[in-house]
């Protein structure tokens, strides 16, 4: 009788197992509840994310000696996968565990325990965002009196300890986490934020029209595209302080176009600290200005001279060099211009006048072939001409040295004692 009982015990003694491996049977060996997600401190800061996945599993039949082993896989959203680049650091900030049953020799569950997964047993895949670990355990029982057991798995991700101070943005304003066990898949979302950034011109009119209007030469200031734009959160209207803006196209500063009237394109690209980007192409319209004198000497004084019996040249006393400066903001590729001058006759206090031509403009003193104008006849005479190109940056200078420009040539008998005065009128016209 004792031998028979011992034989019976050895016969029914078996390993109680969870049959959590794939099967050809129609019914899945597991029935999982929806994946749950909690986030502390329940705002948009990094904090801690806890994923928990509970369900039930069919137990194995008596005498099924297969191992209890299956893989749990959690997939984290793409926006957080950059944290996985440093695998060791990422693993050190994960906590994984699963629940297992206590089963007595009669196959009855008497309770549950929790098994913590060591960090070196956690597998990560940056390319897919998968975090996986194996569940493995076994119990010895004499009988299998139950059909299912409860299963539970959790993964805690300490985002704040990995330097995440704010959750990354997502267009759907949620970060999706997914769990997979065999044929069971479930997802849970973590609410987050999103912003659409936009590049705006600081000038509201220019921003509305997408055209920034500048005068030729921009009042002598350089054109700096980055000082014309700002990055805005389109949802809130606030300036995005962490955005970096670069200029990818600038046809204004190429070829001295700031000094050439026309329409030019500028393209800027912005990227914020979360990788959100925006691009803006706008037109810079360079509008023409005028042609004007910047400097013409206001007074012309000749040296005091003793009347001679010989023809004589009388040099300027001040200014020694005769300099005329013009500003050409017409913005033409070849802007032609000319300078003209007229003068009334030179007259002294007694009403005596010097004959027309005594005051003349010369290319060089004593060289009559270089005479450009004989003044005092009431007519306007051209004394200089030129062409302004964009490379000149709107500035041209005409200079006559002390032995050229406005000079007096007095013949014997033409002059009387006294101080002579005249009025010169200088005219700048936009033609050769």
pLDDT range class, residue 14, cuts 50, 70, 90: very low
CATH classification (class only), 2-191: mainly beta
Facing residues of 87 across strands? none
Q: Are strands 277-287 and 211-215 parallel, antiparallel or unpaired?
A: parallel
Q: What is the pLDDT of residue 210?
A: 98
Average per-residue pLDDT for the chain? 87
Alpha carbons within 13 angstroms on the beta-carbon side of residue 80 total 27
Residue 377: what pLDDT? 86
Interstrand relation of 109-117 and 211-215 (parallel, antiparallel or unpaired): unpaired
Residue 259's closest CA among 166, 102, 391, 85?
391
**C-alpha 150 chain-centroid distance:** 53
Judged against a pLDDT cut of 60, whether residue 378 lies above it is answered with yes
- Model confidence at 60, in pLDDT bands (50, 70, 90)? low
CA neighbor of 254 nearest in space, from 267, 243, 245, 244: 267
Please tell me the predicted confidence (pLDDT) of residue 307: 85
How many Å apart are CA 214 and CA 217, to the nearest integer?
Answer: 8
Note if the pTM is more than 0.85.
no
pLDDT mean over 371-376 = 81
Given a contact cutoff of 8 angstroms between Cβ atoms, the answer to whether 135 and 71 are in contact is yes
**pLDDT, tens digit (0-9, with 9 covering 90-100), for 283-333:** 999 999 999 999 999 999 998 988 888 888 888 888 888 899 999 999 999
Q: Specify the DSSP class assigned to residue 139.
A: E
pLDDT greater at residue 205 or residue 11: 205
CB of 266 within 8 A of CB of 286? no
pLDDT at 55 over 70: yes
Looking at the predicted structure, is the pLDDT value of residue 346 above 80?
A: yes
Q: Which CATH code of 2.170.150.70, 2.60.40.1080, 3.90.180.10, 2.60.40.10 fits the domain covering 197-287?
A: 2.60.40.1080
d(CA 94, CA 132): 11
d(CA 289, CA 393) in angstroms, rounded, equals 13
Which residue is it, tokens 């197992």? Answer: 17
**Residue whose tokens read 């913005």:** 331
**DSSP letter string over 68-107?**
-EEEEEEE--GGGGGGGGSHHHHHHTEEEEEEEEEE-TTS
- The answer to whether the 2-191 and 197-287 domains have the same CATH topology is yes
* Residue percentage of the chain with pLDDT more than 70: 87
In the predicted structure, residue 18 carries a pLDDT above the cut 50: no
* Domain range annotation of the chain: 2-191, 197-287, 291-429
């Amino acid at each position: 009788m004792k031998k028979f009982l011992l034989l019976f015990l050895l016969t029914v003694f078996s390993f109680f197992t969870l049959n959590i491996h794939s099967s050809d049977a129609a019914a899945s060996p597991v029935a999982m509840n929806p994946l749950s997600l909690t986030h502390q401190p329940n705002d948009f800061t990094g904090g801690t994310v806890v994923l928990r996945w509970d369900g039930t599993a069919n137990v194995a039949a008596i005498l099924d000696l297969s191992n209890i082993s299956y893989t749990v896989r959690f997939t984290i959203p793409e926006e957080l996968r950059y944290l996985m680049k440093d695998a060791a650091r990422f693993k050190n900030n994960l906590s994984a565990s699963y629940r297992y049953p206590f089963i007595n020799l009669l196959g009855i569950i008497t309770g549950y325990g929790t098994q913590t997964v060591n960090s070196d047993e956690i597998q990560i895949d940056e390319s897919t965002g998968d975090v996986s670990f194996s569940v493995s355990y076994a119990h010895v029982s004499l009988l299998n009196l139950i059909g299912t057991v409860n299963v539970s798995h959790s993964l805690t991700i300490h985002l704040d300890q990995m330097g995440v101070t704010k959750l990354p943005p997502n267009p759907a304003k949620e970060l999706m986490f997914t769990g997979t066990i065999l044929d069971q898949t479930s997802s849970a979302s973590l609410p987050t934020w999103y912003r659409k950034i936009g590049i705006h011109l600081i000038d509201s009119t220019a921003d509305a029209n997408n055209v920034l209007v500048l005068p030729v030469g921009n009042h002598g200031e350089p054109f700096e595209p980055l000082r014309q734009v700002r990055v805005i959160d389109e949802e809130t209207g606030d300036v995005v302080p962490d955005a970096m803006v670069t200029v990818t196209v600038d046809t204004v500063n190429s070829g001295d176009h700031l000094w050439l009237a026309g329409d030019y394109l500028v393209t800027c690209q912005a990227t914020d600290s979360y990788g959100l980007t925006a691009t803006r192409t706008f037109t810079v319209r360079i509008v023409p200005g005028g042609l004007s004198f910047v400097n013409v000497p206001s007074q012309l004084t000749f040296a005091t001279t003793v009347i001679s019996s010989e023809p004589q040249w009388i040099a300027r006393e001040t200014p020694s060099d005769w300099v005329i400066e013009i500003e050409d903001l017409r913005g033409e590729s070849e802007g032609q211009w000319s300078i003209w001058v007229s003068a009334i006759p030179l007259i002294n206090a007694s009403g005596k006048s010097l004959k027309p031509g005594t005051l003349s403009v010369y290319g060089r003193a004593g060289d009559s072939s270089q005479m450009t104008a004989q003044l005092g006849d009431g007519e306007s005479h051209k004394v200089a001409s030129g062409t302004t190109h964009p490379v000149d940056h709107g500035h041209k200078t005409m200079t006559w040295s002390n032995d050229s420009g406005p000079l007096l040539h007095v013949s014997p008998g033409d002059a009387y004692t006294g101080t002579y005065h005249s009025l010169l009128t200088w005219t700048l016209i936009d033609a050769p």
